[in-house]
Amino acid sequence: MRILVTGANGQLGNEMQVLAKENPQHTYYFTDVQELDICDEQAVRACIADNQIEVVVNCAAYTAVDKAEDNEELCRKLNEEAPGILARAAQANGAAMIQVSTDYVFDGTAHIPYTEECETCPNSVYGFTKLGGEKEVMQNCEKAMVIRTAWLYSIYGNNFVKTMIRLGRERESLGVVFDQIGTPTYAKDLAVAIYAAINRGIVPGIYHFSDEGVCSWYDFTVAIHRIAGITTCKVSPLHTNEYPAKAPRPHYSVLDKTKIKKTFGIEVPHWEESLKVCIEKLNEV
Protein backbone atom coordinates (compact mmCIF):
# COMPACT_ATOMS: atom_id res chain seq x y z
CA MET A 1 0.00 0.00 0.00
CA ARG A 2 1.06 3.58 -0.64
CA ILE A 3 0.27 5.38 2.61
CA LEU A 4 0.13 9.11 3.32
CA VAL A 5 0.39 10.03 7.01
CA THR A 6 -0.38 13.69 7.81
CA GLY A 7 0.55 15.37 11.10
CA ALA A 8 3.51 12.98 11.26
CA ASN A 9 5.38 15.06 13.86
CA GLY A 10 2.60 14.75 16.44
CA GLN A 11 2.20 12.07 19.11
CA LEU A 12 0.31 9.59 16.94
CA GLY A 13 2.17 10.53 13.76
CA ASN A 14 5.50 9.74 15.43
CA GLU A 15 4.23 6.35 16.60
CA MET A 16 3.05 5.64 13.05
CA GLN A 17 6.60 6.37 11.88
CA VAL A 18 8.13 4.05 14.48
CA LEU A 19 5.78 1.18 13.56
CA ALA A 20 6.45 1.66 9.84
CA LYS A 21 9.71 -0.22 10.44
CA GLU A 22 7.66 -3.27 11.46
CA ASN A 23 5.49 -2.87 8.36
CA PRO A 24 8.07 -2.59 5.54
CA GLN A 25 5.63 -3.94 2.94
CA HIS A 26 4.14 -0.45 2.53
CA THR A 27 5.50 2.73 0.93
CA TYR A 28 5.16 5.73 3.23
CA TYR A 29 4.78 9.48 2.80
CA PHE A 30 5.12 11.00 6.25
CA THR A 31 4.25 14.69 6.19
CA ASP A 32 3.62 17.49 8.67
CA VAL A 33 2.60 21.07 8.00
CA GLN A 34 6.01 21.98 6.48
CA GLU A 35 5.70 19.30 3.79
CA LEU A 36 1.92 19.23 3.39
CA ASP A 37 -0.48 21.74 4.91
CA ILE A 38 -3.75 19.78 5.06
CA CYS A 39 -5.70 23.05 4.66
CA ASP A 40 -4.12 23.60 1.22
CA GLU A 41 -6.55 21.85 -1.11
CA GLN A 42 -4.36 22.09 -4.22
CA ALA A 43 -1.32 20.70 -2.43
CA VAL A 44 -3.36 17.87 -0.88
CA ARG A 45 -4.86 16.89 -4.25
CA ALA A 46 -1.45 16.97 -5.93
CA CYS A 47 0.23 14.94 -3.18
CA ILE A 48 -2.41 12.21 -3.22
CA ALA A 49 -2.61 12.03 -7.02
CA ASP A 50 1.13 12.33 -7.81
CA ASN A 51 2.13 9.70 -5.23
CA GLN A 52 -0.79 7.40 -6.11
CA ILE A 53 -1.75 7.25 -2.45
CA GLU A 54 -3.99 4.31 -1.50
CA VAL A 55 -4.56 5.08 2.19
CA VAL A 56 -4.60 8.49 3.91
CA VAL A 57 -4.09 8.43 7.70
CA ASN A 58 -4.91 11.87 9.08
CA CYS A 59 -3.03 12.39 12.36
CA ALA A 60 -3.04 16.20 11.99
CA ALA A 61 -5.45 18.21 14.11
CA TYR A 62 -5.92 21.28 16.28
CA THR A 63 -5.60 19.58 19.68
CA ALA A 64 -5.33 22.51 22.14
CA VAL A 65 -8.77 21.96 23.68
CA ASP A 66 -8.90 25.12 25.86
CA LYS A 67 -7.28 27.45 23.32
CA ALA A 68 -9.84 26.22 20.77
CA GLU A 69 -12.57 28.10 22.67
CA ASP A 70 -10.87 31.38 21.56
CA ASN A 71 -9.61 30.15 18.18
CA GLU A 72 -12.73 28.66 16.70
CA GLU A 73 -11.96 29.63 13.11
CA LEU A 74 -8.53 28.00 13.00
CA CYS A 75 -9.79 24.99 14.93
CA ARG A 76 -12.68 24.49 12.49
CA LYS A 77 -10.35 24.87 9.51
CA LEU A 78 -8.02 22.15 10.75
CA ASN A 79 -10.46 19.76 12.40
CA GLU A 80 -13.43 20.05 10.05
CA GLU A 81 -12.58 21.61 6.69
CA ALA A 82 -9.18 20.00 6.17
CA PRO A 83 -10.43 16.42 6.78
CA GLY A 84 -13.04 17.20 4.10
CA ILE A 85 -10.28 18.28 1.71
CA LEU A 86 -8.34 15.06 2.41
CA ALA A 87 -11.47 12.91 2.05
CA ARG A 88 -12.45 14.41 -1.32
CA ALA A 89 -8.90 14.05 -2.63
CA ALA A 90 -8.76 10.45 -1.40
CA GLN A 91 -12.10 9.68 -3.05
CA ALA A 92 -10.97 11.23 -6.35
CA ASN A 93 -8.04 8.78 -6.37
CA GLY A 94 -9.98 5.74 -5.14
CA ALA A 95 -8.02 5.85 -1.88
CA ALA A 96 -9.20 4.92 1.61
CA MET A 97 -8.98 7.29 4.56
CA ILE A 98 -8.55 6.87 8.31
CA GLN A 99 -9.59 9.93 10.30
CA VAL A 100 -8.72 10.09 13.99
CA SER A 101 -11.39 11.61 16.23
CA THR A 102 -12.14 12.01 19.90
CA ASP A 103 -14.27 11.05 22.91
CA TYR A 104 -15.09 14.79 23.16
CA VAL A 105 -17.84 14.26 20.55
CA PHE A 106 -19.85 13.01 23.57
CA ASP A 107 -21.13 15.17 26.44
CA GLY A 108 -20.12 12.63 29.09
CA THR A 109 -23.52 12.16 30.73
CA ALA A 110 -23.56 8.37 30.13
CA HIS A 111 -22.78 5.80 32.83
CA ILE A 112 -21.85 2.88 30.60
CA PRO A 113 -19.18 2.85 27.85
CA TYR A 114 -20.07 4.71 24.67
CA THR A 115 -20.60 2.56 21.57
CA GLU A 116 -20.36 3.88 18.02
CA GLU A 117 -24.18 4.03 17.89
CA CYS A 118 -24.49 6.42 20.84
CA GLU A 119 -25.75 9.87 20.02
CA THR A 120 -23.03 12.51 19.80
CA CYS A 121 -23.39 15.77 21.71
CA PRO A 122 -20.15 17.74 21.96
CA ASN A 123 -19.90 20.58 24.46
CA SER A 124 -16.67 22.28 23.36
CA VAL A 125 -15.38 23.97 20.20
CA TYR A 126 -12.82 21.17 19.85
CA GLY A 127 -15.53 18.49 20.17
CA PHE A 128 -17.88 20.24 17.71
CA THR A 129 -15.18 20.69 15.09
CA LYS A 130 -13.91 17.10 15.44
CA LEU A 131 -17.49 15.87 14.96
CA GLY A 132 -17.73 18.11 11.89
CA GLY A 133 -14.52 16.48 10.60
CA GLU A 134 -16.00 13.00 11.10
CA LYS A 135 -19.04 13.96 9.01
CA GLU A 136 -16.89 15.53 6.25
CA VAL A 137 -14.85 12.34 5.98
CA MET A 138 -17.76 9.89 6.12
CA GLN A 139 -19.76 11.90 3.55
CA ASN A 140 -16.96 12.47 1.06
CA CYS A 141 -14.95 9.24 1.02
CA GLU A 142 -16.54 5.84 0.42
CA LYS A 143 -13.66 3.89 1.99
CA ALA A 144 -13.45 5.94 5.19
CA MET A 145 -12.87 4.88 8.77
CA VAL A 146 -13.23 7.25 11.72
CA ILE A 147 -11.43 6.07 14.87
CA ARG A 148 -12.41 7.93 18.03
CA THR A 149 -9.82 7.78 20.76
CA ALA A 150 -9.21 9.36 24.18
CA TRP A 151 -6.59 10.64 26.63
CA LEU A 152 -3.68 10.13 24.23
CA TYR A 153 -0.10 10.17 25.52
CA SER A 154 3.31 9.10 24.22
CA ILE A 155 6.98 9.89 24.58
CA TYR A 156 6.51 12.59 21.91
CA GLY A 157 5.24 16.16 22.32
CA ASN A 158 3.46 17.52 25.35
CA ASN A 159 0.93 15.40 27.16
CA PHE A 160 -0.57 14.64 30.57
CA VAL A 161 1.97 11.93 31.50
CA LYS A 162 4.96 14.20 30.87
CA THR A 163 3.31 17.12 32.67
CA MET A 164 2.48 15.03 35.76
CA ILE A 165 6.04 13.64 35.91
CA ARG A 166 7.44 17.18 35.71
CA LEU A 167 5.02 18.59 38.31
CA GLY A 168 5.56 15.56 40.57
CA ARG A 169 9.28 16.27 40.60
CA GLU A 170 8.83 20.04 41.09
CA ARG A 171 6.10 20.15 43.72
CA GLU A 172 5.31 18.73 47.14
CA SER A 173 1.57 18.53 46.45
CA LEU A 174 -0.75 18.46 43.48
CA GLY A 175 -4.55 18.44 43.04
CA VAL A 176 -6.06 16.46 40.15
CA VAL A 177 -9.71 15.96 39.21
CA PHE A 178 -11.26 12.65 40.24
CA ASP A 179 -14.76 13.17 38.81
CA GLN A 180 -13.82 12.84 35.14
CA ILE A 181 -13.62 9.20 34.14
CA GLY A 182 -12.11 7.77 30.97
CA THR A 183 -9.29 5.60 29.67
CA PRO A 184 -5.72 6.68 28.95
CA THR A 185 -4.44 5.56 25.56
CA TYR A 186 -0.80 5.04 24.63
CA ALA A 187 -0.49 6.47 21.11
CA LYS A 188 1.59 3.44 20.13
CA ASP A 189 -1.38 1.14 20.88
CA LEU A 190 -3.58 3.26 18.62
CA ALA A 191 -0.93 3.11 15.88
CA VAL A 192 -0.92 -0.72 16.21
CA ALA A 193 -4.71 -0.68 15.70
CA ILE A 194 -4.40 1.57 12.64
CA TYR A 195 -1.83 -0.78 11.07
CA ALA A 196 -4.10 -3.74 11.84
CA ALA A 197 -6.92 -2.04 9.95
CA ILE A 198 -4.68 -1.25 6.98
CA ASN A 199 -3.14 -4.74 6.88
CA ARG A 200 -6.41 -6.64 7.26
CA GLY A 201 -8.30 -4.31 4.90
CA ILE A 202 -10.20 -1.12 5.63
CA VAL A 203 -13.81 -1.71 6.69
CA PRO A 204 -15.60 1.65 6.43
CA GLY A 205 -17.41 3.04 9.47
CA ILE A 206 -16.93 4.61 12.87
CA TYR A 207 -14.84 2.83 15.52
CA HIS A 208 -13.84 3.44 19.12
CA PHE A 209 -10.34 2.77 20.42
CA SER A 210 -8.65 3.37 23.77
CA ASP A 211 -6.57 1.16 26.03
CA GLU A 212 -8.44 -1.25 28.34
CA GLY A 213 -9.68 -0.29 31.79
CA VAL A 214 -11.09 2.83 33.37
CA CYS A 215 -9.76 5.53 35.71
CA SER A 216 -10.03 9.18 36.72
CA TRP A 217 -7.32 11.76 36.00
CA TYR A 218 -6.50 11.52 39.72
CA ASP A 219 -6.00 7.72 39.53
CA PHE A 220 -3.97 8.19 36.35
CA THR A 221 -1.68 10.66 38.13
CA VAL A 222 -1.21 8.38 41.14
CA ALA A 223 -0.20 5.56 38.76
CA ILE A 224 2.14 7.85 36.79
CA HIS A 225 3.94 8.88 39.99
CA ARG A 226 4.11 5.33 41.33
CA ILE A 227 5.56 3.95 38.08
CA ALA A 228 7.96 6.90 37.67
CA GLY A 229 9.17 6.42 41.27
CA ILE A 230 8.00 9.86 42.43
CA THR A 231 7.41 9.68 46.19
CA THR A 232 7.84 13.30 47.27
CA CYS A 233 4.59 14.74 45.88
CA LYS A 234 1.22 14.24 47.59
CA VAL A 235 -1.58 13.92 45.02
CA SER A 236 -5.07 14.98 46.18
CA PRO A 237 -8.42 14.48 44.43
CA LEU A 238 -10.21 17.64 43.20
CA HIS A 239 -13.73 18.23 41.92
CA THR A 240 -13.95 19.62 38.40
CA ASN A 241 -15.29 22.94 39.74
CA GLU A 242 -12.11 23.29 41.83
CA TYR A 243 -10.00 23.15 38.65
CA PRO A 244 -11.84 25.38 36.17
CA ALA A 245 -10.86 25.04 32.51
CA LYS A 246 -11.98 27.13 29.56
CA ALA A 247 -13.49 24.17 27.67
CA PRO A 248 -15.92 21.84 29.43
CA ARG A 249 -14.79 18.19 29.60
CA PRO A 250 -17.03 15.12 29.52
CA HIS A 251 -17.42 13.66 33.03
CA TYR A 252 -17.56 10.13 31.65
CA SER A 253 -16.08 9.24 28.28
CA VAL A 254 -15.19 5.55 28.42
CA LEU A 255 -15.27 4.11 24.90
CA ASP A 256 -16.61 0.62 24.12
CA LYS A 257 -13.99 -1.01 21.85
CA THR A 258 -15.87 -4.21 20.98
CA LYS A 259 -16.33 -3.30 17.30
CA ILE A 260 -12.71 -2.51 16.45
CA LYS A 261 -11.42 -5.53 18.41
CA LYS A 262 -13.78 -7.92 16.61
CA THR A 263 -13.41 -6.41 13.14
CA PHE A 264 -9.62 -6.37 13.06
CA GLY A 265 -8.71 -9.04 15.64
CA ILE A 266 -6.95 -6.53 17.91
CA GLU A 267 -5.84 -7.28 21.44
CA VAL A 268 -5.73 -4.13 23.56
CA PRO A 269 -3.41 -3.74 26.58
CA HIS A 270 -4.61 -2.44 29.94
CA TRP A 271 -3.79 1.28 30.31
CA GLU A 272 -1.47 0.64 33.25
CA GLU A 273 0.64 -1.91 31.33
CA SER A 274 1.08 0.55 28.47
CA LEU A 275 1.82 3.37 30.89
CA LYS A 276 4.72 1.31 32.28
CA VAL A 277 6.08 0.77 28.76
CA CYS A 278 5.88 4.51 27.97
CA ILE A 279 7.50 5.62 31.22
CA GLU A 280 10.33 3.08 30.72
CA LYS A 281 10.90 4.61 27.27
CA LEU A 282 10.81 8.14 28.72
CA ASN A 283 13.50 7.08 31.21
CA GLU A 284 15.71 5.93 28.31
CA VAL A 285 15.47 9.32 26.52
How would you label 116-132 residue by residue, b for 16+ Cβ within 10 Å and e otherwise? beeebebbbbbbbbbbb
- The active-site residue, picked from 62, 104, 114, 126, is 126
Residue nearest ligand NAP by beta-carbon distance: 10
**List 53, 60, 95, 197, residue binding ligand NAP (CB under 6 A):** 60
Interface characters, 36-55, with ligand NAP (x: CB under 6 A): -xxx----------------
Question: How many positions of this chain bind ligand NAP (CB under 6 A)?
Answer: 25
CA distance 143 to 55: 9
Is 186 a residue that touches ligand NAP (CB under 6 A)?
no
Is 97 a residue that touches ligand NAP (CB under 6 A)?
no
CB atoms closer than 10 angstroms to residue 245: 12
User: Concatenated DSSP letters for 91-103?
Assistant: HHTT-EEEEEEEG
Is 33 a residue that touches ligand NAP (CB under 6 A)?
yes
Is 247 a residue that touches ligand NAP (CB under 6 A)?
no
The 3-state DSSP class for residue 13 equals helix
Is 11 a residue that touches ligand NAP (CB under 6 A)?
yes
End-to-end CA distance of the chain: 32
Is 149 a residue that touches ligand NAP (CB under 6 A)?
yes
Interface characters, 101-120, with ligand NAP (x: CB under 6 A): -x------------------
CB of 27 to ligand NAP, least distance (A): 20
Which residue in 76, 72, 83, 74 sits closest to 7, CA to CA?
83
Task: Please identify, using beta-carbon distances, which residue of 11 and 180 lies nearer to ligand NAP.
Answer: 11
Report H helices in the chain. 11-20, 41-50, 65-68, 72-76, 82-92, 125-140, 160-170, 187-200, 217-228, 258-264, 271-284
252 a catalytic residue: no
Instruction: Tell me which residues touch ligand NAP (CB under 6 A).
Output: 6-7, 9-13, 32-33, 37-39, 59-61, 63, 78, 100, 102, 130, 149-152, 157
- Give catalytic residues, as residue numbers: 126
